[in-house]
Structure 1
Amino acid sequence: MTSPTDITRDPYRLVVLDMAGTTVADGGLVEQAFSAAAQRLGVRPGSDEHARQLAYVRATMGESKITVFRHLFAGEDGEERAQQANIAFEEAYGELVDGGRIAPLPGAREAIERLASEGRTVVLTTGFARTTQDAILAALGWQDLVPLTLCPADAGGRGRPFPDMVLAAFLRTAAVDDVRRTVVAGDTSYDMLSGIRSGAGIVAGVLTGAHDTDQLTRHGATHVLGSVAELPDLIARAEA
């Protein structure tokens, strides 16, 4: 069994990566899909209510989308409206993805392939539903890029900022014996909280998505990188 003094000599064999904003560029599709969903529920684009809801969506980037809609449509018939909004959001996002409005971020695939070649297990996670995650993977041709992909439903239903998806990756892959030898990377404050709460040893924020250095650092980032392309070198330095 590994002792506390031995932990620094163990490699980081598990790498848990966010998708949209971290490894995938979606060109603002989340906001477009949200607007379509909100409009279906009677929220007029350009209205004060739409602006308020959009501000909340931006502030909670990285969180499970159904959780966001439960907050926005709380009250009488809130769960029904949240489910309607979530279905409309997923449909709208899927249509935009099918329209070719998505691409890998520069260096993302190469970083994932390098990490795998170094003997690390890479897991891709998202706050979207499984159908949307699969649509993104298919659009990118990434269906076989990594051995495991996770959405909130795969981890008991709780998405970020809860640590459940990171811990599900830890349990399902058995890639490391100690969760502190896990690396988490993402572009939002919720990614950082999820990583810190899971006990991951490296929690890296990237500046290719929703949040800036200050937001990432305030929510627990151990490192802030320009992009995920820098992650393999960061891990190598941490193991040196």
Structure 2
Amino acid sequence: MIDLVALDMAGTTIDDHGSVYLALRRAVEETGAPVAAEDLQHWMGTDKIEAISALMRLGRVPAETTTVMTAYRRFRALLDEFYLESPPVALPGVRDALATLRDRGVRIALTTGFDDSVANALLESLGWKVGEGELLDAVVTTSQVKAGRPAPYLIHHAMELTGVDDVRRVLAAGDTIVDLQAACNAGAIAVGVETGALTREQLERHPHDYVLRSVAEIPELEEARV
């Protein structure tokens, strides 16, 4: 039995219509750095300032602090614009799956490569809240940890916040390679989901315990049953 599920946000539990990909690519390309699709996918799921720095360097543009922060502010502005045009929604079946897990006594945490301000705006748009009687037990962002994925800190801090002390009873799921890497680094059950940009075959090339069509299938896993 698992005590905690730690789930990525955009592309895993939330359909943001690809806005993060588009905003990140455009913000970096406006610095003069070309962005290869493979590089963009590799850095998705990580802290966004770190992602911008890495993508600029890969595009042979000096990642100076002021330039990176300007690009990050541009990323935030673009993301706000895209979310206003196409508001994020919960992926099909996700809310019901989380409610089922809650009914079984499993704690629910969201983890993300966003900072507090972006994550909180996303949750507000969905009406998802943290607390007793609410859908979520915790939300962990890059504002709260020393390093984002693939470091295990987002997951471990979710354990702290929810009072879970056995990592073997934690399931961590996401739609990117760094989600799987973070889950493995944390010692959790590592689950990839196909609701993001990667196919099952692409996810299965990396260490994992399961690859599912979506988070909606988690309650069907043996580990998630009472």
TM-score, normalised to structure 1, is 0.84
| Shift in CA distance, 73/39, structure 1 to aligned 2, threshold 3 Å | closer
| Shift in CA distance, 239/168, structure 1 to aligned 2, threshold 3 Å | same
Q: CA RMSD in A?
A: 2.0
Corresponding position of 1:98: 84
1:239 Cα deviation from its structure 2 partner: 5.4
What number of residue pairs does the alignment pair up? 219
> Matches of 1:228 and 1:216 in 2, distance apart?
15
> Matches of 1:76 and 1:222 in 2, distance apart?
38
Moved more, 12-21 or 68-77: 68-77
Which of 7, 13, 21 pairs up with 2:3? 13
Corresponding position of 1:213: 200
**Per-residue Cα deviation, 1:123-180 (whole angstroms, up to 9, x for no partner):** 0011112111111111111134302101112122x111111100111122113x3111
Unpaired runs of 5+ in structure 2? Answer: none
Which of 63, 71, 78 pairs up with 2:46? 63
Corresponding position of 1:46: none
| Shift in CA distance, 102/129, structure 1 to aligned 2, threshold 3 Å | same
Unpaired runs of 5+ in structure 1? Answer: 1-10, 44-48
Corresponding position of 1:50: 34
Give me the identity figure in percent. 35
> Matches of 2:225 and 2:13 in 1, distance apart?
23
1:228 paired to 2:215: yes
1:1-240 map, 5 Å:
11-38=1-28, 40-41=30-31, 43=32, 49-52=33-36, 54-74=37-57, 76=62, 78-144=64-130, 145-156=135-146, 158-175=147-164, 177-200=165-188, 202-234=189-221, 236=222
Corresponding position of 1:8: none
1:208 Cα deviation from its structure 2 partner: 0.8
| Shift in CA distance, 100/138, structure 1 to aligned 2, threshold 3 Å | farther
1:92 Cα deviation from its structure 2 partner: 1.4
Aligned 8 A contact 1:97 1:135 in 2: no
| Shift in CA distance, 224/131, structure 1 to aligned 2, threshold 3 Å | same
**Per-residue Cα deviation, 1:175-208 (whole angstroms, up to 9, x for no partner):** 3x311110011111110000000011x2111111
> Matches of 1:105 and 1:215 in 2, distance apart?
21
Amino acid at match of 2:162: T
Between Structure 1 and Structure 2, whose CA radius of gyration is higher?
1
**Per-residue Cα deviation, 1:31-75 (whole angstroms, up to 9, x for no partner):** 32124423553x3xxxxx4343x5422232211111111112346
> Matches of 1:180 and 1:160 in 2, distance apart?
19
> Matches of 1:226 and 1:31 in 2, distance apart?
20
Amino acid at match of 1:50: P
Amino acid at match of 2:139: T
> Matches of 2:10 and 2:62 in 1, distance apart?
32
Question: SS at 1:152's partner residue?
Answer: coil
Question: SS at 1:203's partner residue?
Answer: strand
Aligned 8 A contact 2:53 2:63 in 1: no
